[in-house]
Amino acid sequence: MVQFVDVDAMRRWISHEGVEPLLEDLVAYLEDDYRRWEQFDKTPRVPAHSEHGVIELMPTADAELYGFKYVNGHPINPSRGLQTVTAFGVLSDVATGYPLLLTEMSLLTALRTAAVSAMAARRLARPDARVHALIGTGSQSEFQALAMRRLLGLNEVRAWDVDPAALDKFVRNATALGFTVHRATSGADAVDGADVVTTCTADKVNATVLTDAMVQPGMHLNAIGGDSPGKTELEPAILRRSEVFVEYHPQTLVEGEIQSVGADFPTVDLWRVIDGQRPGRTSDDQVTLFDSVGFAINDFSALRFLRDRVSGTPYATEIDLIAEPTDPKDLFSLVSLAPAVSHR
């Protein structure tokens, strides 16, 4: 039997546990896996691009567990009444190849993306950071704000979106969550006075939602919207004045902000910072940039975290996903012993 977590169970689990405590606990799992980064099989995700969006598989494994996520990104979907991003994931036993967990991952990915952002920002933002700016207030925004508050204490949020309805939604939700919210009139207004800036827009284009003139010394930039070829958010000049940190350079080079500055552009692996091999921020006036595209090890950590937390609880049910005849070599027995069906 395979453990199964559907959307309703995931919703109830997150509501019961609380988003902020879960984010903090998930960061601990992420840090554990980042510290053993070299033990994982690593490959850029496998994409199928179309004019409407992208469908991707994101696999990785260590010596004991194999995990993958199926995820799409279709910016046009909200106009159809659909989510821009949806996902599900599987965690399997390497020794047998049997799946252990099948789960929805739209909500779980929102948690893991926010947790990764906060994990990076905790090491890359100035210790005295107090103000968080959000450019893009779609599905990820509340999770990002909560993660930055829980891990860095950033309760003041300055928000902007070109979609007034999305901005209304965020202001309403964030105010109810106890944030001090400034409804910005532009991207420049949003980042004015900010210490940490998160860009999380969805359009699949080479956009410039953050210009070099908007970036002040000492800022930490958390760029999470660029996640496919031809999709960026930052003016290239920003990268040239920043120390740029990445999850996995070969994937980021194809999908992230650094695609705009070339293959030879120097980056720092975030796992080396988590492991203590490389420093994060080195001065108060340094501009740091986390060029985050989402990598399979992040999802692996989230799947492992979910399995450990919901196993044996009402949030996980069991489904009969694997055909298991009494004789492992006689798969046909499962159909030959089935009741005959008349076709007369």
| pLDDT tens profile 315-329 | 999 999 999 999 999
Averaged pLDDT for residues 92-112 = 97
What pLDDT, on the 0 to 100 scale, is given for residue 98?
97
Domain segments of the chain: what residues? 2-107+297-324, 126-294
Examine the pLDDT at 140 and tell me if it is beyond 90.
yes
Q: Are 289 and 244 in contact (CB under 8 A)?
A: yes
Look up the CATH superfamily of 126-294.
Answer: NAD(P)-binding Rossmann-like Domain (3.40.50.720)
pLDDT on residue 204: 58
Which of 161, 227, 269, 291 is labelled catalytic? 227
Which pLDDT band, with edges at 50, 70 and 90, does 205 fall under? Answer: low
Beta bridge partners of 245: 268, 290
Average pLDDT over residues 170-186: 98
pLDDT score of 262? 81
pLDDT bin (cut points 50, 70, 90) of residue 340 is low
* Average pLDDT of the chain to the nearest whole number: 94
Beta strands 87-93 and 156-160, pairing class: unpaired
Q: Is the pLDDT of residue 343 over 70?
A: no
Please give the pLDDT value at position 238.
Answer: 96
The pLDDT value given to residue 341: 60
Evaluate if pTM is beyond 0.95. no
Q: What does the angle CA 221 – CA 123 – CA 13 come to, to the nearest 5 degrees?
A: 90
Confidence label for 51 from pLDDT (cuts 50, 70 and 90) = confident
Would residue 41 show up in a list of annotated catalytic residues for this protein?
Answer: no
CATH of domain 2-107+297-324: 3.30.1780.10
Residue 291 pLDDT more than 80? Answer: yes
> Mean pLDDT, to the nearest integer, of 169-193?
98
